[in-house]
Amino acid sequence: RKNPKPYDVDYKVLIIGESRVGKTSIIKRLNDEGFNENTISTVGLDFVNVYFDIDGVKVKLQIWDTAGQERFRTITRNHFRNTKGTVLVYDISEKESFEKLEYWAENISIMNLDSEIVYIVGNKNDLEQKREVSFEQGKKFATRNLMKFFETSAKNAENLNEIFKNLAFDILDTN
Ligand code: GDP
Ligand code: MG
């Protein structure tokens, strides 16, 4: 008799945004928080598996990083294939990364054919003294685009588990 699968449902999530906003740091932080499995380095993409219990349903999120390809604007439809949730990240201490959200949001709407759920995440909110984008600005952008908004810090992991648990809940709810 085979072992039962350690999860009931399995969803792919993509983390995207400007270079240096902290996407890889978020993946790494999720990886050492202990509520996950492993990071696999392959050609091109890295991911981490994170498990949540949502009202008795064991949900596996396979969260993918773009492994530096965002820098060269070489994100393709392939990256988005079967993606059920997209996390669009900017850096609250870099106004330019916030201004580029428009570009990424447009990219997502063109290439992201499978995912209805997009979250906007302002990272590095431990850098309060260097803040260039207010919470309200982030919230406003997200609301205007019918997306949920969060701030976090890959450095101190504030809010990070909650964001992805929320995402697991929303994906489960629409699938
Ligand atoms: P990526 O290019 O989006 O994958 O960004 P990285 O994860 O490589 O991070 C870029 C830089 O920002 C690195 O020097 C990180 O240490 C730093 N960084 C990432 N997240 C945070 C954060 O939440 N707070 C602070 N203070 N620095 C961060
Ligand atoms: Mg990276």
ipTM for the whole complex: 0.99
Label residue 73 by pLDDT band (50, 70, 90). confident
Residues with CB under 6 A from ligand 1: 19-25, 123-124, 126-127, 153-155
- 138, pLDDT greater than 50: yes
Q: What is the pLDDT of residue 3?
A: 62
Could you tell me the distance, in angstroms and rounded to a whole number, from the CA of residue 21 to the centre of ligand 1? Answer: 6
Q: In Å, what is the CA distance from 130 to each residue of 4, 20, 93, 133, 156?
A: 48, 15, 5, 9, 16
3-state secondary structure of 93: coil
> What amino acid occupies position 74?
T
Beta strands in the chain (DSSP E): 9-17, 36-41, 46-54, 57-65, 83-91, 117-123, 148-151
Going by pLDDT thresholds of 50, 70 and 90, the confidence category of residue 123 is very high
Which of 25, 28, 75, 91 to mutate to test ligand 1, by most ligand atoms within 8 A of the CB atom? Answer: 25
Ligand 1 site-directed mutation target among 20, 97, 159, most atoms within 8 Å of CB: 20
The pTM of this model reads 0.91
The C-alpha atoms of residue 136 and residue 151 are separated, in whole angstroms, by: 11
Residues 29, 115: Cα–Cα separation, whole Å? 24
User: Ligand 2 being an ion, which residues bring their Cβ within 5 A of it?
Assistant: 23-24
